[in-house]
Structure 1
Amino acid sequence: MTSGSPNTSDFDSSSNPWLVRQELFVASLQHQPLLLVVRPEPDDLRPSSSGSSLLDQVLQLHAAGLRHLEVAWLDQPGWGEFMQRVQDQCPGLNLGAASVTSPQALNDLSCLNLSYAMAPCWSPELVEQAREVGVLLVPGVFSPTEVHQALRFGCRVVKLFPAANLGPGYWGRLHAPLGPLPFVIAAGGLDVGDIPVWLEAGHGAVALGRKVVGSPPAFQALLDWLRQSTTQP
């Protein structure tokens, strides 16, 4: 890290909007520790008069109780309109953007008033820009160095990616050398059956990817998980 990089002492004020948004996001994930990540196809980005199989699936999942959805950012016409359709038809859904790696993506997001965005990697410059334009960007981390840098930068929530390559025990082994760790979302290569394993291993939430919505059995398993979790006391 450069000497000009911020650290956690710069973000102690409870009135800091960036910190407040992080805390609200964490609170929502504690209520339902699951995110679904999807990538629209060209047919999904056509005007609302055209059918969208992805939107139909999102509506089913939302009706079953899904609270957090990430839609991969695409530099394509119609992406913003698709996001608006999801917002209009799924009130109460915490909608975010995935695969955010560029300033252009952040500029697009700043107009949508999304709850959050996700980056696959650690980029302090991108996190800083996101904070400046009012977007809560959750960075991806992989190594102990990246976790330490994210903590020093004031990130209270991070995404462990790709989690499947590291295994559910990896995050816990970082506690001894690094001390208190941020709230972590395990993402990358996981399915519905992995949710309890990774939560029990100390991860705050689990993100599921495209293979869930692309497979009828996996999609049904997710619907069942949502319905069961929302009916439990």
Structure 2
Amino acid sequence: MSSNLWLVRQELLVASLQHQPLLLVIRPELEDLAASGSGSGLLAQVQQLHAAGLRNLEVAWVDQPGWMGFMQRVQDHCPGLNLGAASVTVSKALNDLSLLDLSYAMAPCWCPELVEQARGLGVLLVPGVFSPTEVHQAIRFGCRVVKLFPAANLGPGYWSCLQAPLGPLPFVIAAGGLDVSDLPVWLEAGHGAVALGRRVVGSPPAFQALVDWLHQSTSQR
């Protein structure tokens, strides 16, 4: 049953990203985790982006008592947001993800043991891949979705070069070092979606650019 849920959640994530090919990744600070109610400035920004049409959000997992509470506040204040966890590298994180029943989680690297453990819990853990070997192993493992990381170091043309030797490739999320202005370039190069980091939220001009992109993409649908 848990394995079937893992497969279903892959398809649901792909469908959500096909609807809006953007993932925002945020990293809450200690003050965000400690804030009660809507007292977090980061949560207020997330609410603003959600109101502008943001569909997919990742919150970096941290081994702090307040992380679960912060995630629950995001769920309460942003209903309908496709919420996941980022930076998952240890087994301990999977228990939190299972308790919250999150739609998905992301790992920065390829760790088949962790992906297997997540699949056993019914948790979708999308692996980070970098080399052709890692991509090939993820495909053989049954991963329908992977994250290319760090994408900026590889360039937008890298992924398409893998198709000839490896055959059909999984749905790919480009992540690492990208900005709002990179969205059209990487999407046109064949990437299924693009992940943007916390620095977009931390910079007023970048934040406004993201709000504008969300308004524009929503109006075009």
User: What interval of TM-score do these two structures reach, taking the shorter chain for normalisation?
Assistant: over 0.9
Equivalent position SS for 1:16: helix
Match of 1:97 in 2: 85
Match of 2:214 in 1: 226
Equivalent position SS for 2:18: helix
Query: Residue 38 of structure 2 contacts residue 44 of structure 2 at CA under 8 Å; is this kept in 1?
Result: no
Counting only pairs closer than 5 Å after superposition, residues 40-59 of structure 1 correspond to structure 2 as: 40-49=28-37, 51-59=39-47
Match of 1:182 in 2: 170
Question: Quick check: 1:152 aligned with 2:140?
Answer: yes
Deviation at residue 203 of structure 1 after TM alignment:
0.2
CA distance, structure 2, for counterparts of residue 34 and residue 18 of structure 1:
21
Deviation at residue 141 of structure 1 after TM alignment:
0.1
Deviation at residue 157 of structure 1 after TM alignment:
0.2
CA distance, structure 1, for counterparts of residue 60 and residue 7 of structure 2:
24
Match of 1:214 in 2: 202
Query: Residue 94 of structure 2 contacts residue 118 of structure 2 at CA under 8 Å; is this kept in 1?
Result: yes
CA offsets, 1:54-89, max 9 Å, x none? 000000000000000000000011100000000011
Specify every segment of 5 or more residues in structure 2 that has no aligned partner in the other structure, as ranges. none
Deviation at residue 50 of structure 1 after TM alignment:
6.8
Match of 2:5 in 1: 17
Pick one of 43, 53, 61 that aligns with 2:49. Answer: 61
Specify every segment of 5 or more residues in structure 1 that has no aligned partner in the other structure, as ranges. 1-14
Equivalent position SS for 2:100: coil
Q: In structure 2, give the amino acid aligned to 1:110.
A: S
CA distance, structure 2, for counterparts of residue 57 and residue 142 of structure 1:
31
Question: Quick check: 1:83 aligned with 2:71?
Answer: yes
Question: After TM superposition, which residue ranges in structure 1, 4 or more long, deviate above 4 angstroms?
Answer: none
- The percent of aligned pairs where both chains have the same amino acid is 84
Match of 2:157 in 1: 169
CA distance, structure 2, for counterparts of residue 230 and residue 196 of structure 1:
15
Equivalent position SS for 2:164: helix
Could you say which structure has the larger radius of gyration? 1
Query: Residue 24 of structure 2 contacts residue 56 of structure 2 at CA under 8 Å; is this kept in 1?
Result: yes
CA distance, structure 1, for counterparts of residue 109 and residue 38 of structure 2:
34
CA distance, structure 2, for counterparts of residue 35 and residue 177 of structure 1:
28
Question: Quick check: 1:121 aligned with 2:115?
Answer: no
Equivalent position SS for 1:196: helix
Deviation at residue 176 of structure 1 after TM alignment:
0.3
CA distance, structure 2, for counterparts of residue 78 and residue 213 of structure 1:
21
Equivalent position SS for 2:8: helix
- Over the aligned positions, Cα root-mean-square deviation in angstroms equals 1.0
Deviation at residue 133 of structure 1 after TM alignment:
1.1
Deviation at residue 18 of structure 1 after TM alignment:
1.5
TM-score (ref. length: structure 2): 0.97
Equivalent position SS for 1:135: coil
CA distance, structure 2, for counterparts of residue 49 and residue 17 of structure 1:
32
Equivalent position SS for 2:62: coil
Q: How many residues align?
A: 219
